[in-house]
Amino acid sequence: MILKEIELKPLAGIPDHLFRFEKKLSVILVRNDTGESPLYNALKLAMFVPSEPNKRVFEKEVRPFLPINGGNSIRVTLQFSIGGSCYRLLKSWGGKPVHD
């Protein structure tokens, strides 16, 4: 799988943001506490957590990433390619999105 971009609307302390990755090698290099963990967790949520998790899974896997500045939902969109085919995966959790 080659990750092309990941969009957060919002996630934890990161406001709406689109991260684009180059075709060759992308490296995420940031100071501590500036966003590497939320980006990793956004990937984990999108790939492994159901859009409608049960209460236990929601509390453990989703609630910690609800927007810090208020809001009751998060959305993650991944664009990636596998074997030359491109895919888009959009998942959201929580109540109705605050905005599109």
pLDDT digits (tens, 9 = 90+) for 45-99: 999 999 999 989 999 999 998 988 778 899 999 999 999 999 999 999 986 544 4
SS3 55: helix
User: What is the predicted pLDDT for the residue at 34?
Assistant: 57
Domain membership of residue 36 (yes or no) is: yes
Domain membership of residue 86 (yes or no) is: yes
pLDDT at 12 over 70: yes
| Residue 17: closest CA among 5, 2, 1 | 5
Domain membership of residue 28 (yes or no) is: yes
Domain membership of residue 77 (yes or no) is: yes
SS3 77: strand
| Ordered strands of the 2-8 beta sheet | 17-20, 2-8, 73-82, 85-94
pLDDT confidence band for 5 (50 / 70 / 90): very high
Structural domain that includes position 60:
2-94
Residue with tokens 């929580």: 94
Domain membership of residue 83 (yes or no) is: yes
Domain membership of residue 35 (yes or no) is: yes
Give me the number of domains the chain comprises.
1
CATH of the domain at 23: 3.40.50.300
Cα separation values, 33 from 12, 13, 17, 80, 87, Å: 12, 10, 17, 26, 30
User: What is the predicted pLDDT for the residue at 93?
Assistant: 94
Q: Which pairs with CB-CB distance under 8 Å and at least 24 residues apart come from 53-61?
A: 53/93, 58/93
- 29-42: per-residue pLDDT in tens? 666 665 567 788 89
Domain membership of residue 99 (yes or no) is: no
